Amino acid sequence: MREQSRVDLASVAPGLAWAFEFDGSGVGALLPEDRPVDLIHGRRFVWAHVILANARTRDWIGAQEGLPEEAKAVLLSPDTHPRLDWGGDALWGVLLDVQRDLMAASEDPTDLRFVLRPQFLLTARRHPVRAAHALRARIENGARFEGSAGLFERMLEEAADSLGAAAQSIAEEIDRIEDRVLSEAMSDETGKLLKLRRAISKQDRLVQGALSVLGQLDQHRSQSALEIYRDLGRRVRQRVASFHSDLHLQGDRARLLQEEAASQLASATNKNLFLLTVVTTLLLPPAFVTGYFGMNTKNLPFTESDYGTLYASGLCALAALAVFLLIRRFRMFA
């Protein structure tokens, strides 16, 4: 009995983002909306990218006999944790990628679900993802793929590249902050460093998820279900591992710079407080003198003298000088 695996674009749309059918030479062609797609009996293999937020897509996934029941459950599950499962000649699971935002730069993670068989690659997402759009651009530019496994590995590489680009952007921003922190001009970079550390934490979770899935591929490579894909993800895992090390390095740099910036701010605050304390101390004796002569009582000194104000001013100056010399004597003021 023939498997029910035809994608009628007119019935699935707008839940279908796009679909490509690959010929014998590995070149993909974007299928028009009025043409149905056969996942199992295509010309060579098919890539369909669907949007889970649409109810039609979820109904179509549930009706496909060409998808393992466990794979359907993963595609429709609200769980976003990275995972990998297999059965027969099929692989399915959840990857984490970076959201694609046309209006602004985004580093927010999102899930990308997939089912891989030799005849097709089915991917599903709730939010636009960078890896899928980057892979589509490669196909439209004429890239060739020997099979669905090669196409999926290219998607893994695109996801790794987005992680690498994010790590490089973080490193460049830390370099700029480091230059400002270590310059002579005082600069408060604690807010920017805190934001960077949050970005590093997000990227680290993405990398950990990628390493988890790729590690399962490598760990179970000898099992019959994965023998078809024995080389899948091996090179990508090495790249992601290097990004993981780089993120840890940038995290350590950000933490050290935050400590340095906090130390500089504390030092500047202490200097300002010390200066304020010295000024206040020097002004206390003159304040006492002016308060004393401001008493509304009889027989105050210098009240009958023509130079009383001058004498009182001199007494204030002498009191302040005496306190200053006392402070210098005990080395409280350099």
pLDDT above 60: residue 14 = no
Q: How many Å apart are CA 269 and CA 275, to the nearest integer?
A: 10
Q: Please state the rounded mean pLDDT for residues 86-103.
A: 79
Q: Please state the rounded mean pLDDT for residues 259-282.
A: 82
Q: Phi/psi class of residue 79: alpha, beta or left (left: φ > 0; alpha: ψ in -120 to 50)?
A: beta
| DSSP codes of every residue in 72-124 | HHHHH-S--S-EEEEETTEEEEEEEEEBP-SSS----EEEEEEEEETTEEEEE
To the question of domain 269-329 being in CATH 1.20.58, the answer is: yes
Q: How many Å apart are CA 219 and CA 41, to the nearest integer?
A: 31
Of 181-185, 221-225, 317-321, the one with minimum mean pLDDT is: 221-225
> What Rg, from alpha-carbon coordinates, does the chain have?
35
Asked if residues 40 and 4 have their Cβ atoms less than 8 Å apart, the reply is no
Asked if residues 288 and 319 have their Cβ atoms less than 8 Å apart, the reply is yes
Strand partners, 28: 22
CA distances from 231 to 115, 123, 249 (A): 17, 20, 29
Q: What are the pLDDT digits (tens) for 153-208?
A: 888 888 888 878 878 888 888 888 888 887 766 667 778 888 888 888 877 877 87
Q: Which residue did the predictor score with more confidence, 102 or 212?
A: 212
Residues of the chain with CATH 3.30.460.20: 6-263
Res 43: pLDDT: 63
Residue recorded with tokens 């604690």: 190
pLDDT band at 233 (very low <50, low <70, confident <90, very high): low
Q: Give the right CATH number for 6-263 from 3.40.190.10, 3.30.460.20, 3.30.565.10, 3.40.50.970.
A: 3.30.460.20
Instruction: Decide: residue 227, CB within 10 A, 0-12 exposed, 13-18 middle, 19+ buried.
Output: exposed
42: closest CA among 66, 70, 63?
A: 66
Taking residue 192's Cβ as centre, other Cβ atoms within 10 Å add up to 19
Res 229: pLDDT: 66
**Range picked from 119-133, 151-165, 204-218, 244-258 for highest mean pLDDT:** 119-133
Res 136: pLDDT: 92
**Range picked from 48-57, 131-140, 211-220, 319-328 for highest mean pLDDT:** 131-140
Of 171-175, 216-220, 296-300, 314-318, the one with minimum mean pLDDT is: 216-220
Asked if residues 123 and 47 have their Cβ atoms less than 8 Å apart, the reply is yes
| CA dihedral angle for residue 224, residue 225, residue 231, residue 237, rounded to 10 degrees | -120
